[in-house]
């Protein structure tokens, strides 16, 4: 008999929802619009994010996760309820199930609140909470029942988690408040300092994706911004070295964290890590040249998992479908 279920990747930048039998049905910004007076939610996802900077006087647009942690618990739980409502997953005769990915740094109170948000108006829903590095490892092909170590580098919008995962357990962990957002900001500041051009976050993200650490296939990429001296619109070509230099201190911190964690790998797990390779997931995994830097620094082959932006929700869906009972009930 069919049992309905949902898997949720509650990310700093985007939230993804997988519904059993349908696949990923929602991939939207982790944003919610709230009434300032009443405090109640009005919009979530794209509709809330699109109001940012232009919202009415009585509306606040909130991004409730910052740097991989929940910065506004009430907003986060309201947003989760909104996304689950939008997903339209139906209850079944058998008790429905939910797997919700949580940041490794989430507190006990935050975990309880997220679990409570999931069962809001769904008292029969069985909820399991899953550590994001475990979800990333499973989404990259690791066996939740396995005994081999898997080294995961998950670079999201707000944080980077470097983790040694065995089965459904995190054995070693390094968490950095470095992610795609910090990289975009570094590029934005570098372009302003080097070229006197004020660009927006989307232009900075374009430069990051196009040039990365290696310059990509072109030596430079065009952007349009505001000339900081004249206050006029100007188009400029930004060179690869400008972008690489802007990212260097952030990339070095990520590489250092991977090296440090490798030093802590128990000897019995080392062979599995080498065999399975360093697995990169999250949007930051797509930064050109980063996998090569990690491979050079560690001597371990480093690969980008398939569809790295969806590796966490894919892993959560795998747990939902096949290994739900491996996780303890949410408290």
Model confidence pLDDT, tens digit, residues 290-321: 999 999 999 999 999 999 999 999 999 999 99
pLDDT, average across residues 160-187: 94
d(CA 258, CA 254): 6
- Beta-strand pair 69-70/65-66: antiparallel
Who has greater pLDDT, 40 or 44?
A: 44
Separation CA 274–CA 298 (nearest Å): 11
Q: What is the pLDDT of residue 275?
A: 92
What's the pLDDT score for residue 138? 97
Nearest to 316 by CA among 76, 64, 128: 128
Which band of pLDDT confidence, cut at 50, 70 and 90, is reported for residue 143? very high
Neighbours of 124 (CB within 10 A): 10
Average pLDDT across the chain, whole number: 90
Share of the chain above pLDDT 90, in %: 66
- Which three-class secondary structure state does DSSP give residue 107? coil
Task: Report which listed range, 35-39, 170-174, 215-219, is most confident.
Answer: 170-174
Provide the pLDDT for residue 305. 96
End-to-end CA distance of the chain: 27
Please give the helix or strand (H or E) that residue 127 lies within, else none: strand 126-131
Percent of the chain with pLDDT over 70: 95
Instruction: Find, among 308, 327, 192, the residue nearest to 246 by Cα.
Output: 192
Domain 180-246 has CATH 3.90.640.10: yes
Is 161's pLDDT higher than 90? Answer: yes
Strand, helix or coil at 327?
coil
Q: What per-residue confidence (pLDDT) applies to 268? A: 94
Selected from 3.90.600.10, 3.30.420.40, 3.30.1950.10, 2.40.280.10, the CATH number assigned to the domain covering 5-135+312-326 reads 3.30.420.40
pLDDT tens digit string along 87-127?
876 666 578 899 999 877 778 888 888 888 888 777 788 99
Spatial CA neighbour of 243 closest among 203, 293, 303:
203
One DSSP character per residue, 249-286 reads: HHHHHHHHHHHHHHHTS-HHHHHHHHHH-EEEESGGGG
What confidence score (pLDDT) does residue 150 get?
Answer: 96
Identical fold, 144-178+251-308 and 180-246? no
How far, in Å, are 127, 190, 278, 319 from residue 134 at the CA level?
Answer: 17, 35, 14, 10
Total count of residues recorded for the chain: 331
Mean pLDDT over residues 63-92, rounded?
82
User: What gap in Å lies between CA 108 and CA 331, rounded to an integer?
Assistant: 9
> Is the torsion defined by CA of 160, 163, 165, 171 positive or negative?
negative
Tens of pLDDT, residue by residue over 263-300, are: 999 999 999 999 999 999 999 999 999 999 999 999 99
Rounded alpha-carbon distances, angstroms, from residue 117 to 48, 138, 216, 302: 19, 25, 43, 37
85-94, 166-175, 208-217: which has the minimum mean pLDDT? 85-94
- For residue 236, the SS3 value is strand
Contacts with 159 (C-beta within 8 Å, 6 or more apart), sequence order: 12, 67, 68, 103, 175, 176, 177, 178, 179
Cα–Cα distance for residue pair 27/57, rounded to 1 Å: 28
The more confident residue out of 91 and 326 is 326
**Span 20-32, mean pLDDT?**
93
* All structural domains of the chain with their residue ranges: 5-135+312-326, 144-178+251-308, 180-246
**Band (225; pLDDT cuts 50, 70, 90):** very high
Give the model's pLDDT for residue 140.
Answer: 95
- Over residues 35-43, mean pLDDT: 73
Tell me if the domain spanning 144-178+251-308 has CATH number 3.20.20.70: no
> Which three-class secondary structure state does DSSP give residue 18?
strand
């Amino acid at each position: 008999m069919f049992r309905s279920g949902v898997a949720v990747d509650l990310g700093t930048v985007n939230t993804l929802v997988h519904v059993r039998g349908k696949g990923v049905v929602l991939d939207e910004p982790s944003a919610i619009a709230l009434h300032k007076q009443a405090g109640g939610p009005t919009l979530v996802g794209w509709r809330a994010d699109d109001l940012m900077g232009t919202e009415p006087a009585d509306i606040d647009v909130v991004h409730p996760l910052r740097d991989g942690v929940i910065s506004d618990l009430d907003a986060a739980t309201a947003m989760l309820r909104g996304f689950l409502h939008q997903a339209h997953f139906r209850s079944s005769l058998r008790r429905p199930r939910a797997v919700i990915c949580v940041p490794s740094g989430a507190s006990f109170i935050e975990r309880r609140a997220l679990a409570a948000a999931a069962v809001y108006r769904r008292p029969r829903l069985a909820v399991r909470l899953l550590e994001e590095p475990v979800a990333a490892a499973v989404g990259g092909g690791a066996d939740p029942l396995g005994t081999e170590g898997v080294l995961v580098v998950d670079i999201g919008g707000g944080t980077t988690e470097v983790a040694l995962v065995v089965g459904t357990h995190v054995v070693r962990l390094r968490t950095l408040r470095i992610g795609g957002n910090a990289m975009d900001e570094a590029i934005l500041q570098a372009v302003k300092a080097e070229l006197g051009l004020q660009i927006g976050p989307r232009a900075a993200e374009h430069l990051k994706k196009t040039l990365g650490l290696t310059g990509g296939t072109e030596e430079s990429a065009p952007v349009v911004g505001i000339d900081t001296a004249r206050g006029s619109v100007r188009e400029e070509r930004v060179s690869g070295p400008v972008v690489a230099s802007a990212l260097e201190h952030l990339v070095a911190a990520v590489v250092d964290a991977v090296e440090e964690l490798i030093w802590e790998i128990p000897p019995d797990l080392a062979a599995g890590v080498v065999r399975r390779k360093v697995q990169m997931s999250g949007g930051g995994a797509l930064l050109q040249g980063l996998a090569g830097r990690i491979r050079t620094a560690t001597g371990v082959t480093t690969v980008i998992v398939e569809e790295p932006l969806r590796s966490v929700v894919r892993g959560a869906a795998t747990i939902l479908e096949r290994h739900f009972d491996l996780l303890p009930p949410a408290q």
